[in-house]
Amino acid sequence: MPKRAYHNYWVYIITNKPKGVLYIGVTGGIDDRMERHVEAKGSSFFK
């Protein structure tokens, strides 16, 4: 990720409807993080 003079962070909430669970996360790169959630990389929560 490129260095910036300022920082942007995102708080996001996603759900796994079949299991009825909410996931709350914080990230500095929302596009990359959502892609990893969709591909179930880095966490077994959404597999």
Measure Cα distances from 28 to 10, 17, 37 in Å: 6, 25, 15
pTM of the model: 0.60
Amino acid of residue 46: F
**Does 2 or 17 have the greater pLDDT score?**
17
Structure-block tokens of residue 6: 């300022």
> What is the pLDDT at residue 45?
62
CA distances from 27 to 4, 12, 20, 24, 41 (A): 15, 8, 23, 10, 15
Number of domains in the chain: 1
- Type of residue found at 10: W
pLDDT tens-digit readout, 19-35: 888 888 888 888 888 88
Range(s) of the domain holding residue 46: 1-47
